[in-house]
């Protein structure tokens, strides 16, 4: 798929291999590192309780024990990072199901009066809901909810293997299905690289942004229950620094207004500074510098992972401007890119 490289497929395949021979995690240990996302001390077993709607006075509450597993085949329950919520099935005046009880940590234990409830357990962005009926007579057996959840760690490179600073990367995870309006449902936004994202098993659409201009790649990622995978996307982009100089290697001229246009004439970035630094997707661009009452310009090409400085001379103009002959700048009025003030 466009935007996903061989490095992604290799990372995914390697992360799906488990067993001592490969030195990878055992399936039961796959999520031990999740504690880094929730390092707070365990919360009390019962955080909140309110009588469910319709509870009759004198009803004898029953002890209800709950635990969650990543997969049905797991022998051990998840020990931390869970959020439990118990709801009454009868909607309140606001149309929402009233919250009866909640708990955070690992397994949970509640005292519930006989009746029907909805029990929800969340593990990051993964979760499952089960209907629970508390009988009037007899004990209630332990309730085990299967999350059918996995996890993914996202990262990206420039080109095939050039590392990208974490502060310049951001990921968003969307559902794989496209709605009638042509959009996808957002699952989680603003994910930082090398962060574990807990998700229900399934296919997700991941969008990676490098910088804040136009370096964006997309990929579909498969999350498997009980497994933690690593996915590395490849950006065909590089960091560019623009500066207006009077001579090659000269000092950058302050108070310069910058516009960067694509070959089609679309403005992708504007700023005012002596140095204008940005990340641009691979391709051809036109840099336009405004300083006082003069305008200067230079065409340049961006190649993946090749960070560079682009000097715009205050006298010389680029030899090949045919590529941008149709480009226009709009700053109070249209100015043809071929009209350069000397």
Interval 154-188: pLDDT, tens: 999 999 999 999 999 999 999 999 888 999 999 99
Instruction: List the one residue out of 150, 156, 257, 243 whose CA is nearest residue 201.
Output: 150
Q: How far apart are CA 234 and CA 218, in angstroms?
A: 9
Residue 6 has pLDDT above 80, yes or no: no
Residues 178 and 325 in one domain: no
Residue 267 has pLDDT above 60, yes or no: yes
Residues 270 and 250 in one domain: yes
Please, are residues 34 and 113 in contact by the beta-carbon 8 Å criterion?
no
Indicate the average pLDDT of the chain: 82
Q: In this predicted structure, which of 40-49, 50-59, 122-131, 145-154 has the lowest mean pLDDT?
A: 40-49
Q: Report the pLDDT value the prediction gives residue 25, as an integer from 0 to 100.
A: 35
Q: Report the pLDDT value the prediction gives residue 232, as an integer from 0 to 100.
A: 97
Does 27 fall in a domain? no
3-state secondary structure of 120: strand
Query: Which of 129, 146, 163 represents a domain boundary (last residue)?
Result: 146
Residues 259 and 304 in one domain: yes
Residues 104 and 179 in one domain: no
Query: What is the rounded average pLDDT of the residues 7-14?
Result: 33
Please, are residues 202 and 147 in contact by the beta-carbon 8 Å criterion?
no
Q: How far apart are CA 115 and CA 111, in angstroms?
A: 12
Q: Report the pLDDT value the prediction gives residue 333, as an integer from 0 to 100.
A: 31
Eight-state DSSP code of residue 219: E
3-state secondary structure of 268: strand
Residues 116 and 194 in one domain: no
Q: What is the pTM of this model?
A: 0.75
Instruction: List the one residue out of 196, 191, 194, 228 whose CA is nearest residue 206.
Output: 191
Q: Please indicate whether residue 59 or residue 178 has the higher confidence score (pLDDT).
A: 178
Phi, psi of 274, rounded to the nearest 5 degrees? -70, -40
Residues 179 and 270 in one domain: no
Dihedral angle at the C-alpha atoms of 255, 260, 261, 266, nearest 10 degrees? Answer: -90
Structure tokens at 74: 């797991």
Does 261 fall in a domain? yes
For the chain, how many structural domains are there in total?
Answer: 3
Q: How far apart are CA 160 and CA 318, in angstroms?
A: 31
Q: How far apart are CA 155 and CA 195, in angstroms?
A: 9
Residue 12 has pLDDT above 60, yes or no: no
pLDDT single digits (tens) 140-159: 999 999 999 999 999 999 99
Q: How far apart are CA 183 and CA 288, in angstroms?
A: 35
Q: In this predicted structure, which of 34-43, 49-58, 183-192, 209-218 has the lowest mean pLDDT?
A: 34-43
Residues 17 and 46 in one domain: no
Query: What is the rounded average pLDDT of the residues 303-314?
Result: 96
CB atoms within 10 A of CB 142: 11
Q: Report the pLDDT value the prediction gives residue 315, as an integer from 0 to 100.
A: 76
Instruction: List the one residue out of 194, 108, 121 whose CA is nearest residue 151.
Output: 194
Query: Which of 177, 201, 235 represents a domain boundary (last residue)?
Result: 235
Residue 91 to residues 50, 51, 111, 293, Cα–Cα distance (Å): 15, 14, 21, 67
Residues 10 and 42 in one domain: no
Q: Report the pLDDT value the prediction gives residue 208, as an integer from 0 to 100.
A: 98
Structure tokens at 89: 């099935």
Q: Please indicate whether residue 331 or residue 312 has the higher confidence score (pLDDT).
A: 312
3-state secondary structure of 323: helix
Residue 277 has pLDDT above 60, yes or no: yes
Conformation bin of residue 97: beta by default, left when phi > 0, alpha when psi is -120 to 50? beta
Instruction: List the one residue out of 139, 90, 142, 84 whose CA is nearest residue 114.
Output: 139
Please, are residues 230 and 293 in contact by the beta-carbon 8 Å criterion?
no
Query: Which of 235, 264, 280 represents a domain boundary (last residue)?
Result: 235
Does 26 fall in a domain? no
Residues 74 and 141 in one domain: yes
The residue assigned the tokens 């996202």 is: 154
Instruction: List the one residue out of 183, 197, 222, 196 whose CA is nearest residue 4.
Output: 222
Residues 57 and 131 in one domain: yes
Q: Please indicate whether residue 325 or residue 91 has the higher confidence score (pLDDT).
A: 91
44, burial (CB in 10 Å: exposed 0-12, middle 13-18, buried 19+): exposed
Q: Please indicate whether residue 251 or residue 13 has the higher confidence score (pLDDT).
A: 251
Query: 299: domain range?
Result: 237-336
Structure tokens at 333: 């009025």
Does 342 fall in a domain? no
pLDDT single digits (tens) 247-256: 999 999 999 9
115 beta partners: 134
Structure tokens at 203: 């296919």
Q: Report the pLDDT value the prediction gives residue 3, as an integer from 0 to 100.
A: 52
Does 306 fall in a domain? yes
Instruction: List the one residue out of 199, 222, 226 whose CA is nearest residue 29.
Output: 226
């Amino acid at each position: 798929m466009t935007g996903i490289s061989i490095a992604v497929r290799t990372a995914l395949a390697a992360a799906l291999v488990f067993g001592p021979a490969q030195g990878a995690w055992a399936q039961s240990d796959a999520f031990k590192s999740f504690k880094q996302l929730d390092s707070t001390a365990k919360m009390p077993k019962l955080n909140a309780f309110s009588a469910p709607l319709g509870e009759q006075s004198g009803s004898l509450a029953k002890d209800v024990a709950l635990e969650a597993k990543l997969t049905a085949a797991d022998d051990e329950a998840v020990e931390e990072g869970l959020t439990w919520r118990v709801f009454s099935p009868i909607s309140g005046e606001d149309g929402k199901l009233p919250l009866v009880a909640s708990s955070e940590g690992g397994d949970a234990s509640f005292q519930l009066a006989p009746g029907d409830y909805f029990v929800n357990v969340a593990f990051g962005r993964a979760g499952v809901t089960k209907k629970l009926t508390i009988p009037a007579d007899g004990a209630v057996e332990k309730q085990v909810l299967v999350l059918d959840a996995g996890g993914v760690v996202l990262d990206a490179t420039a080109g095939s293997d050039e590392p990208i600073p974490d502060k310049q990367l951001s990921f968003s995870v969307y559902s794989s299905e496209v709605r009638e309006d042509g959009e996808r449902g957002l699952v989680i936004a603003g994910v930082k690289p090398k962060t574990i994202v807990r998700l229900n098993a399934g296919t997700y659409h991941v969008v990676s942004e490098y910088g804040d201009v136009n370096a964006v790649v997309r990929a579909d990622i498969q999350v498997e229950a009980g497994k933690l995978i690593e996915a590395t996307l490849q950006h065909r982009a590089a960091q560019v620094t623009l500066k207006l100089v009077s001579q090659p290697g000269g000092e950058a001229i302050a108070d310069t207004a910058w516009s960067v246009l694509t070959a089609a004439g679309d403005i992708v970035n504007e700023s005012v500074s002596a140095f204008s630094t940005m990340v641009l997707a691979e391709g051809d661009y036109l840099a336009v510098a405004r300083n006082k009452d003069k305008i200067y310009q230079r065409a340049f090409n961006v190649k993946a992972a090749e960070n560079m400085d682009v000097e715009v001379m205050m006298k010389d103009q680029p030899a090949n401007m045919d590529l941008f002959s149709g480009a226009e700048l709009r700053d109070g009025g249209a100015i043809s890119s071929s009209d350069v003030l000397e």
